[in-house]
Structure 1
Amino acid sequence: MRHTPHYLMTDPDEVKRLIRANAWATFVSPASTGLVASHYPAILDEEADGITIISHFGRPDEVLHELGEHEVLVIIQGPHDYVSPSWYAPGEVVPTWNHVTAHLYGTPEILGDEENYAMLARLTDHFEDHRPEGRHLHEDEAGTRRLAKGTVGLRMRVDRFDARAKLSQNKAPDVAANVIARLDASNPGLAEEMRRVHPPQPPM
């Protein structure tokens, strides 16, 4: 990503927050056949040190990615949207795109069958626990264990990350406030991210 110092997100806790809120990830591998990309859910392993994610690949994606043989790039995309220059002062004509994005780098560890099943159950619980009629793998363990054989689980400790929160930090407070107000109706998630870096100004 473009290196712009005031957009850099260097706090690991902020990267963790981004991952928690945005579980759909893009995995990119420099395989011997060329670049390969796949999309899977990824969640934090909250019990691990540092930033560690867990996920799974559907077979045969793990072969295409040569999973576990090299470093991969995992892209976490948070809220993002087009910002119109019509939201700025009269005469400004250059638009932009605000976003929160993290690039995570590491070499995945392939999970064994039992660890993979436990990870799949954990992944399912992550999304089902808050639902009033959520369902869980243990309700049909025999059937879900058969289906699990079509997946390969992974755990990846993040060795390094490159993250950006481009949220109109280069704009005056009143301009940023107007952008937030415009986004409140169309993209409240991005508006909330902007409020984190543009707290409301106290009344004069």
Structure 2
Amino acid sequence: MRHTPHYLMTDPHEVRRLIRQHPWATFVSPTNQGLIASHYPVLVEDGDALSIVSHFGRPDEVLHELGQHEVLVIIQGPHDYVSSSWYEPGDLVPTWNHVTAHLYGIPEILSDEENYQMLSRLTDHFEQHQPGGRSLSEDEAGTRRTAKGTVGLRIRVTRFDARAKLSQNKSTDVASNIVAHLESRNPELADEMRRAHMGR
């Protein structure tokens, strides 16, 4: 990402929060055949170190050469266009506000049992919010057979590069006006802007 020191997110807890709120991730691998990208949900693991787990549908693990090299995992949080009409007169350059994290690490392949447990946690995590949510345990034999079509992985994040570009370069009045315009169409981004500007 562009080197913008005043937008840096350096707190791992904030990166964890971003991943939890936006678990749909893009995995990018520099393979012998060139760059390969795939998209899968991720879970943040408990513990002091930043670590995520996920799964790939076969044969993506072969295409990505999983475990052979570092991969990039992109977490895209809330984002939106910011019109210059929301600024003070004469300030004509619009922008795009966003919260984004790039995570780096070498994937570790999970055993079949670890993969099934991870898939169960992943499913339970998302099903808990659904009316009449389901669980893999309702048909363990059948879901274990389906799980064989996937490969589980863990990435212990060795480094991350994260940005919260939220109009920190604007005055409090202008930032408040931007928040007001975003409130109805992108309330999550408006909330992130409020968080970023509270400490000013």
- Fold shared, TM-score > 0.5 on shorter chain: yes
The two structures, once aligned, show a CA RMSD in angstroms of 1.2
Deviation at residue 26 of structure 1 after TM alignment = 0.2
- Cα-to-partner distance string for 1:138-161 (whole Å, 9 max, x where unaligned): 001111111101000001100000
Query: Helix, strand or coil for the counterpart of 1:89?
Result: coil
Query: Helix, strand or coil for the counterpart of 1:28?
Result: strand
Give distance in 1, aligned partners of 2:43 and 2:195.
Answer: 23
Give distance in 2, aligned partners of 1:23 and 1:197.
Answer: 21
Give distance in 1, aligned partners of 2:159 and 2:197.
Answer: 27
Equivalent position of 1:128 in the other structure = 127
Equivalent residue letter for 1:4:
T
Equivalent residue letter for 1:65:
H
Query: Helix, strand or coil for the counterpart of 1:2?
Result: coil
Give distance in 1, aligned partners of 2:71 and 2:115.
Answer: 19
Equivalent position of 1:188 in the other structure = 187
Equivalent residue letter for 1:74:
V
Equivalent position of 1:10 in the other structure = 10
Deviation at residue 131 of structure 1 after TM alignment = 2.4
Deviation at residue 32 of structure 1 after TM alignment = 0.7
Q: How does 1:4-153 map to 2 (within 5 A)?
A: 4-46=4-46, 48-153=47-152
Q: Percent identity?
A: 75
Structure 2: tracts of 5 or more residues without a match: none
Would you say 1:167 and 2:166 are equivalent positions? yes
- Cα-to-partner distance string for 1:65-121 (whole Å, 9 max, x where unaligned): 000111000000000000000001122221100000000000010001101000000
TM-score (norm 1): 0.96
Equivalent residue letter for 2:137:
H
Equivalent residue letter for 1:72:
V
- Cα-to-partner distance string for 1:28-48 (whole Å, 9 max, x where unaligned): 0000110000000011012x3
Aligned residues: 200
Give distance in 1, aligned partners of 2:144 and 2:48.
Answer: 29
Give distance in 2, aligned partners of 1:51 and 1:44.
Answer: 7
* TM superposition outliers: structure 1 runs of 4+ over 3 Å: none
Deviation at residue 49 of structure 1 after TM alignment = 3.1
TM-score (norm 2): 0.98
Query: Helix, strand or coil for the counterpart of 2:10?
Result: coil
Give distance in 2, aligned partners of 1:115 and 1:4.
Answer: 39
Query: Helix, strand or coil for the counterpart of 2:15?
Result: helix
Give distance in 2, aligned partners of 1:2 and 1:42.
Answer: 25
Query: Helix, strand or coil for the counterpart of 2:188?
Result: helix
Give distance in 2, aligned partners of 1:200 and 1:7.
Answer: 14
Equivalent residue letter for 1:56:
H
Query: Helix, strand or coil for the counterpart of 1:141?
Result: helix
Give distance in 2, aligned partners of 1:75 and 1:196.
Answer: 22
Deviation at residue 200 of structure 1 after TM alignment = 9.1
